[in-house]
Amino acid sequence: MTASTAMRWRVETWDPAYGASTEDPSELSRSSAKVTLDVEFPSDRWHPVEPDWAAPSWPSVLFVDGVRRIDAMAWVLDEPAGAAASLALCASYAAGVVCCRPGAAHLLGAEVRRGLFSPAEHATDVVTRAGRYIRVPATVRPDSPAPGQELTLAVQRQLGEVELAAAGRARDGLAARHPEWSDDDLLVVDGPLRGRAHLPRTLGYIKTHRSEYLPTALHQLAGALRVGQRTPVFELGTSWRRYTWYLRLPGGSVAPWAGVVRVECSADLPVAEVVSLASRSQPMLCRYASTEYKDSRAPQNLYPIAGLERELRRRLGDQALLYRAIRHAAA
């Protein structure tokens, strides 16, 4: 291959162990969501919205996230006699909140749980020398080709409930720790806002893209955003409604859509308040964007979220020790 015909290619900074941060545009599925474009601007006047770097941030920004881990796969054996053995997962999961204030950040709270997820009606808690795995009933279709995947989704749902509880308690913890606290704060939930849209002053932060919501020309506009720019606000309606917009973070590679995140908020807010929230959060989220040499999911994995994940994983405990404890209990 000569220099004139050399392949042009780019490597994305995002760690491939987490999947792709952005899918190949040809692989994105066209969403069936109802999209309302004429929220902030009419669709024929859409343009990148520049950041106001001097915009005031919030005195306190709270980041909520959770982690999960499968410690062991197991089988709940037949009881009563004649019943088929049922697959089970021993899982550890945790959620917490980190509070960021000017010049400082601290953990507001964290909760760790362990569960035995199984469809077996006679399953019970598993008590090990390293902790108790509380029995969590889970539904698996009898003809399921992937029962393990269904159980993993059950773990994810339980984690979502712990995250919701952590988010609900976050402001109580903030008020207790900072007597001067006022209600001028912001809560950022890592992931979609589903089930949490009722929380006041809350944003959902989505790092990866699996669906194409916008018409082709506007989708291309989102992919061509420059650092700090966002799209106008638009509305998505599926089984639930929310306002949303795309934002380009600093530090991404030149790969298509690298560094682009989607942010969403409650559809119950007045449009003027939504636009203000989008514009005010624009520079704030950019300031928390991570860099490649510190985080393999840069820039989308914001520094506070990455730090919270590390602390939560530490609190999950040593996986090898837990695995040995589970095997010892089973024996």
Quick one: pLDDT at residue 9?
47
CA angle (119 as vertex; 115, 123 as ends), nearest 5: 60
Quick one: pLDDT at residue 103?
87
Encoded tokens for 110: 């964290």
Quick one: pLDDT at residue 16?
47
Cα–Cα distance measured from residue 24 to residue 209, given in angstroms and rounded to the nearest whole number: 10
Quick one: pLDDT at residue 11?
42
pTM over 0.75: yes
**C-beta separation of 66 from 156 below 8 A:** no
Report the phi/psi class of residue 201: left, alpha or beta, with left for phi > 0 and alpha for psi in -120 to 50.
left
User: How large is the greatest C-alpha to C-alpha distance in the chain, in angstroms?
Assistant: 72
Quick one: pLDDT at residue 14?
47
Quick one: pLDDT at residue 142?
80
Q: Distances in Å between the alpha carbon of 108 and those of 34, 66, 97, 197, 311? A: 37, 14, 5, 21, 12
Quick one: pLDDT at residue 4?
47
Q: What is the mean pLDDT of each run of 10 residues along the chain (331 residues)?
A: 47 49 53 89 96 91 95 80 77 96 90 94 90 93 86 95 91 75 86 90 92 91 94 92 96 77 96 96 95 82 94 96 92 81
**E strand intervals along 122-196:** 126-128, 131-137, 185-190
